Amino acid sequence: MNDPTRTRNLRIRAALAVAAVTGLGATALTALPAAAAGEALTVQYRQSSTGGDQVEPWLKVVNTGASSVPLSQVKVRYYFKADAGASYTYACSWAVKGCANLTGTFGTLAHPTATADRYLEIGFTAGAGSLAPGADTGDMQLRFHRSNWQSLNQSDDYSFGPAQTTYANWSKVTATVGGVQVWGTAPVGNEPTPTPTDPTTPPTTPPPTGAALFDDFDYTGHTDPALVAHGWSVRSNSGGPGVPGATWAPENVTFAKDGTNSIMNLRTSTAGTGESTRHTEILTRASKFKDGTYAARVRFSDAPLSGPDGDHLVQTFFTINDLKAPMADDYAEYDFEYLPNGGWGEPANILYTTSWETYRPDPWEAVNQHSESRTSHDGWHDLVLTIDGNAIVYYVDGQEFGRHDARYLPERPMSINFNQWLIDLAGQTSTAPRAYDQKVDYVLYVKDQVLTPAQVAAKVGAYRSAGTTFEDGVPAAQ
């Protein structure tokens, strides 16, 4: 897992990770979502402010088709040119659908232009409901600004319309339904690639059997011999990331039944000092995982199990290999990182997905791409990561969360990891004891196959229906 200095600088330097690669491709096993077939949307836009401290795109999505569209399948992108070295913060001032039902994430274009190298992507939760034919979302009064509130320049932004002071159709903002673009024109060189489909394979049908790792985490404890026999290592060695002087505590990785299902729990605790801090990590001893599908069901927690809240906590699911030398081009790391109380300069909860090409620790230099969502992710979530020869795609609860470029594809196999740790002790300075839990239901890896989230759910269901709690048919890395 990346150390805190490296990850903190990621947030500052993410704008450096501009891809110079071929366009994104699609994957053979991805079926076109039914809701995207034949749907028609338009996006209306007006600018609320031409000021120099924040961008204020106000948007409406209109259903111009003949059937209802679930908004949870809709994504809208506003394209802009990032100021040098800037990171950005999204906010929703007001929305008819409710700001809590909107998500905002930033992404980097595969092919930057003079007027666009970044985008703000707006998504919807299930709570936003559906759009009936002829209906619209109503106002979505959105804004974003530089994270340090320095002035910014909108005049060179692709989607900005300084004269657009009333709502009207705006083709410089794009919309997709189920990943299929149905409205607008992306900046030149970033047009969508048609998605090949297999009409004979429904998205809920598991793909043909391939080499896979599946673990339902049905163990008695961290000393269970089966845990080692199944290829897992529970960390006990000292070192980063996290609070200096902290211990990585194997005994804090436990297992319990939730009804008939087995759950792994990672507990992190502290009493406000490095010596009292206990981090947790479990990882595969073998680095043999590369292209394919990675999936886990993880429960993130916003509040501590006990004691005062506020610590800068990181809860993760990731895959990684070792950095052989500074800026080595065969390094790889792909992260889901949830910060329930902020950290790394963020004031509140945020979920990151990050794809790493390489880095140098001293002097610091990073090559990576990330997506983020500044909203609570407390509770259970289905996390899916797919890697093929074209792109790295992250899904959260069945919805695409981030799509990263071919520049960041892995050259060497990796291990699979879960950990929970404290960035520092600045978020909560009390010396009162407190503890946080991160739970994991299962982990799945399917070698060299890209599965949809629905196919992942079907494959896990098939394992459980057959009473299979563990399988590892993935060959050792060559």
pLDDT one-digit tens code per residue, 24-33: 222 222 222 3
Tell me which of 9-18, 31-40, 248-257, 449-458 is least confident: 9-18
Residue 5 main-chain phi, psi, to 5 deg: -65, -45
Alpha-carbon span 169 to 365, nearest angstrom: 42
- Specify the pTM: 0.62
- Provide the terminal-to-terminal Cα distance of the chain, rounded to the nearest Å: 23
Alpha-carbon span 15 to 123, nearest angstrom: 22
Alpha-carbon span 350 to 368, nearest angstrom: 18
Helices within 184-273 (DSSP H only): 225-229
- The tokens for 149 are 């509130």
| 442 pLDDT more than 60 | yes
Strand 116-124 to 74-80 pairing? antiparallel
Element (H, E) at 459: helix 453-465
> Mean pLDDT across the stretch 251-255?
97
The pLDDT assigned to 156 comes to 93
pLDDT more than 70, % of the chain: 88
The pLDDT assigned to 312 comes to 97
Residue 213 main-chain phi, psi, to 5 deg: -115, 130
- Of residues 109 and 430, the one with the higher pLDDT is 430
Strand 247-248 to 278-284 pairing? parallel
Alpha-carbon span 268 to 437, nearest angstrom: 7
The pLDDT assigned to 72 comes to 87
Write the DSSP symbol of residue 425. Answer: S
Alpha-carbon span 323 to 333, nearest angstrom: 10
Looking at every residue in the chain, the average pLDDT score rounds to: 87
Nearest CA to 194 out of 182, 208, 202, 206 is that of 182
Amino acid at 296: A
Alpha-carbon span 319 to 336, nearest angstrom: 9
> Mean pLDDT across the stretch 235-252?
95
The pLDDT assigned to 193 comes to 54
| 466 pLDDT more than 50 | yes
| 421 pLDDT more than 90 | yes
Alpha-carbon span 184 to 162, nearest angstrom: 18
Residue 8 main-chain phi, psi, to 5 deg: -60, -45
Helices within 188-230 (DSSP H only): 225-229
Write the DSSP symbol of residue 317. Answer: E
The pLDDT assigned to 207 comes to 54
Residue 376 near residue 302, CB atoms below 8 Å? yes
Q: Which residues pair with 408 in a beta bridge?
A: none
- The tokens for 457 are 């759910």
- Band (pLDDT 50/70/90 cuts) for residue 109 is confident
State the chain's maximal CA–CA distance in angstroms.
68
- Beta-carbon neighbour count of residue 206 at 10 Å? 19
Q: Which residues pair with 471 in a beta bridge?
A: 214
List of residues 6+ apart from 104 with CB closer than 8 A: 90, 91, 92, 120, 121, 122, 123, 142, 144, 373, 374
Residue 234 near residue 282, CB atoms below 8 Å? yes
pLDDT more than 90, % of the chain: 69
Reduced to 3 states (helix: H, G, I; strand: E, B; else coil), residue 454 is helix
Nearest CA to 333 out of 456, 395, 417, 448 is that of 417
> In degrees, to the nearest 5, what angle opens at C-alpha 316 toward C-alphas 310 and 317?
165
